[in-house]
Amino acid sequence: MTEPALAEQVHYTAASGALSSVWLLIAIPLASAVVLLLAGRRSDRWGHILGCASIGASFVLALWYFFALRGLGHKAVSEHLGSFIQVGGYKVDWGILYDPLSATFALLITGVGFLIHVYAVGYMSDDPGRRRFFGYFNLFAASMLLLVLGNNFLMTFIGWEGVGVASYLLISWYQDRPSAATAGKKAFLMNRVGDAAFLVAMFLMFGYLGSTDFATVFNGVGALPHGVTLAIALCLLGGACGKSGQFPLQAWLPDAMEGPTPVSALIHAATMVTAGVYLIARANPIFDATTIGSTIVVAVGAFTLLLGSIIGCAKDDIKRVLAYSTVSQIGYMFLAVGLGGGAYALGILHLLAHGFFKAGLFLGAGSVMHGMKDQTDMRRFGGLWRYMPVTWVTVGLGFLAIIGIPPLSGFFSKDPIIDAAFARGGWQGWVFGLAALLGAGLTAFYMTRLFVLTFHGKKRWTEDIEHPHESPAVMKVPMILLAIGSVAAGGLLVYGGFTGWLEPVFGTTEVPGHEYNKGLMIGISLVVVLLGVAIAWLLFRRGTAETEQPARTAIVRAARENLYGDVVNETLFELPGKLLTRAAVFIDGKGVDGIVTGLAAIVGGSSSRLRRLQTGFVRSYALTILGGALVVVAALMAVKLG
């Protein structure tokens, strides 16, 4: 197979002026987290204000740095902060890389993150641990900023692990709930599987190139044997799948809904789950050097987007529908970055648009829960649009954006990915293009179902719900701003030259291979989406049963069981571990311990029997001596006569 031509040499200039202080983006939320976690209850009254102010300050700085970078001719600057590891010939520095890709992520993390922080002030107002919650939130944001701003893979990995620790603390926030503790552990352990693959990738980089620095690795890819390049690419993909909830490491992401809703919004919209997409996009010279590796990325994305969509159609928990929606939408992003070339920018474009509408949808779900006494079952909602008009409008705009109705964000970000998938050509173009198109229809179906069951139809409330109420202003304002972003972000980014902005990172923004009428493709996509909306509206406009009904088809049963993903994991990974543990316990108990215990029993039993000979009676001893003498005489006679 012919491999693509290698990219030009990567070069970063030294940061100067305003950009020499980019490290403040990380330092400010990190310092706030340290204060909030060490100050204890003394910061209960002002901890949430500090938490919001720190991420807000980082957003202001990110804007300043963004405009400073726009004014530069060479839009990729690096700043050396110090030496981190120096052992023999191996040296790793603390350093910052600020280029269009990291600048874009910094704006998303701090901007959307700030709105979610403000929303959490209202959502967590009754929680006695709110100060600690904001400490974890700031730690999460600082780790994510370190992940996207580091200038080498090791710094990225440190941020990667920081995000993992913070997510564990936040997902298992409600410590009195066993389900939350289990979900936190599940997320932590499944992410470690991906992290192990990421570590192997770094070991290979160091072994063959002597460095994990971005510039050194990217410039040295051309000298690597193809098998090594493919191994590094696949290991990076393994790490990305773990962090972004992609097949086969997707099972932890829906369970992460056990955390408070702002946690779900932060993880799903602006930070953690986008890390895998960032890693593949950042390592684009590696994936461009191996067609097999990039094709596997596309296949993982296409399969996962269908998997998430199918399961999302069968869930009744409003947060889990959104969670599987995230799994599916990240699949679109993987598909795009796997296509390479100009499609890298399409993946990042969809990531940004998704950040707005998915954050808005999660905050809307939190608002519904706030008014419905923390209930999440859509079968017990209905008719809420009259009682929660702001939530209805903001969620409605997010719903229209995610299904790709023009001119909202999803139309500008998702449809070009479907278009690019078909443009790949050959059987791959048909397979991946049809998967992306079918995913669009399924997205329209499950999101319409969510919207209709929640806000329309007759009331199906439980008896303890008397009068659902709208959320306070501190929660509504972030929802309104995110809804505006859901509407306008796609068009603004496309017509504002966003893909050209990323050209210094990806080299090109042109998607090759358009051999058909693009307008026709958009029309077909829109028809599929409207078909999904119409079917869901016809099925659920009058509501649904208040309890789960027997599944009539195998696909519904499978979807309710998460397409047996947990069963597969338990069979392939958990069950062998259990059997191995039981075998080890058996060998230890019956084998090692049995031998030792048996020897001890033999010695103890023999001693006990011998002890009985020591009776203290002279007649017993005389009888023993007589017996011994008879034995000796008998032996002598036997020898004599023999």
Check: CB of residue 76 under 8 Å from CB of residue 99: yes
- Over residues 271-301, the pLDDT tens digits come to 778 899 999 999 999 999 999 999 999 999 9
- Over residues 423-435, the pLDDT tens digits come to 887 889 999 999 9
Whether the per-residue pLDDT at 534 is higher than 50: the answer is yes
pLDDT mean over 517-546 = 90
Check: CB of residue 352 under 8 Å from CB of residue 104: yes
Which residues have a Cβ under 8 Å from the Cβ of 530 and sit 6 or more positions away?
444
Cα–Cα distance measured from residue 431 to residue 77, given in angstroms and rounded to the nearest whole number: 40
- Over residues 428-466, the pLDDT tens digits come to 999 999 999 999 999 999 999 999 999 999 999 988 888
Cα–Cα distance measured from residue 345 to residue 505, given in angstroms and rounded to the nearest whole number: 9
User: What tokens were used for 629?
Assistant: 């003498």
Cα–Cα distance measured from residue 297 to residue 5, given in angstroms and rounded to the nearest whole number: 19
- Over residues 305-326, the pLDDT tens digits come to 999 999 999 999 999 999 999 9
Whether the per-residue pLDDT at 398 is higher than 90: the answer is yes
Cα–Cα distance measured from residue 432 to residue 418, given in angstroms and rounded to the nearest whole number: 8
pLDDT mean over 28-50 = 92
Whether the per-residue pLDDT at 5 is higher than 60: the answer is no
User: What tokens were used for 628?
Assistant: 């011994």
Under the banding of pLDDT at 50, 70 and 90, the label for residue 511 is: low
pLDDT above 90 as % of the chain? 61
Cα–Cα distance measured from residue 328 to residue 436, given in angstroms and rounded to the nearest whole number: 10
Whether the per-residue pLDDT at 246 is higher than 60: the answer is yes
End-to-end CA distance of the chain: 92
pLDDT mean over 356-384 = 93
3-state secondary structure of 440: helix
Q: What are the two backbone dihedrals, phi and then psi, of residue 152, each rounded to the nearest 5 degrees?
A: -150, 165
- Over residues 327-365, the pLDDT tens digits come to 999 999 999 999 988 899 999 999 999 999 999 999 999
Cα–Cα distance measured from residue 506 to residue 345, given in angstroms and rounded to the nearest whole number: 8
Check: CB of residue 525 under 8 Å from CB of residue 420: no
Which residues have a Cβ under 8 Å from the Cβ of 636 and sit 6 or more positions away?
none
User: What tokens were used for 123?
Assistant: 């959502």
Whether the per-residue pLDDT at 2 is higher than 50: the answer is no
User: What tokens were used for 497?
Assistant: 């030259």
Give the strand pairing for 77-87 and 13-14.
parallel
Beta-sheet strands, E only, within 101-250: none
What is the pLDDT at residue 570?
A: 83
Residue 195: in which H helix or E strand, if any?
A: helix 178-209
71-99 exposure pattern, b = at least 16 Cβ within 10 A, e = fewer: ebeebbbbbeeeeeeeeeeeebbbbbbbb
Which residues have a Cβ under 8 Å from the Cβ of 210 and sit 6 or more positions away?
89, 90, 216
Whether the per-residue pLDDT at 549 is higher than 80: the answer is yes
What is the pLDDT at residue 593?
A: 85
pLDDT above 70 as % of the chain? 97
Residue 585: in which H helix or E strand, if any?
A: helix 575-586
Cα–Cα distance measured from residue 517 to residue 214, given in angstroms and rounded to the nearest whole number: 39
Under the banding of pLDDT at 50, 70 and 90, the label for residue 1 is: very low
- Over residues 64-123, the pLDDT tens digits come to 999 999 988 888 899 988 888 777 777 788 899 999 999 999 999 999 999 999 999 999
Check: CB of residue 237 under 8 Å from CB of residue 246: no
What is the pLDDT at residue 339?
A: 92
Check: CB of residue 528 under 8 Å from CB of residue 441: yes
pLDDT mean over 499-519 = 75
Whether the per-residue pLDDT at 6 is higher than 60: the answer is no
Under the banding of pLDDT at 50, 70 and 90, the label for residue 47 is: very high
Among 212-216, 279-283, 507-511, name the one with the lowest average pLDDT: 507-511
